[in-house]
Amino acid sequence: MAAPTPDPLPIPDAVLVDALGSEPRRPAAFRALLARGAAAVPAVRAGLRHPQARVREQCCKLLDELLVPEALGDLTAVLDDPDPRVRIAALHALSCERCKPDAEVCRPDRAAILPRAVRLLHHDPDPHVRAYAVELVALWVHGDPAAAAALIRARDDDPSPAVRKKAGWYAPGGAIHRRTAPRPPRRPIG
């Protein structure tokens, strides 16, 4: 059996990014860009500034799996997007370590991200955005008192019961906080 021949006229990455805004074309375009991996990242990063919110959201979702350190600044800028779906996708891409092959390399800079994440957690008008901001703030809850204080404040004062509940899981004393606590070093035997 002969090996498949490459497509002589591959669809340019920028065209696939535009297709993310079309419901019938979105799934195939998303899969194609994801399959192209790092080669598609420049077009996906450019898509974060697309006029259609749906395209910006999908580009955030692609960067969730294709994140490279150079794209962290682009994702950080999208935290100010006017569409809450885009802000949610950016928050997830910045905070989720499960989706990335090398999460340590692409962990956002605490000094650059934490203040913005706390601002979203306390002031975003959309409760879904605030709920996703909990996870981003929680990246630093074990080592930064400001992160712990922000989660406690959200747990105690957020107007949304769902945000209060989620913040309670990540705040000091919460179930996820306990589960993710750094383990003390083992003492040598003998």
For 156-179, write each residue's pLDDT tens digit. Answer: 999 999 999 999 999 999 999 999
Structure tokens at 128: 């879904």
Structure tokens at 119: 């601002």
**Residue 97: alpha-carbon gap to chain centroid:** 9
d(CA 165, CA 153): 12
Q: What is the pLDDT of residue 71?
A: 92
From the number of C-beta atoms within 10 Å of its C-beta (0-12, 13-18, 19+), residue 82 rates as: exposed
Residues 105-148: tens digit of each pLDDT: 677 889 999 999 999 999 999 999 999 999 999 999 999 999 99
Ranges of beta strands (E only) in 31-137 are none
Q: What is the pLDDT of residue 8?
A: 53
From the number of C-beta atoms within 10 Å of its C-beta (0-12, 13-18, 19+), residue 33 rates as: buried
Domains of the chain from N-terminus onward:
12-103 (1.25.10.10), 109-180 (no CATH)
b or e along 39-66 (b: 16 or more beta carbons within 10 Å of the residue's beta carbon)? ebbebbbebbebeeebbbbbbbbbbbeb
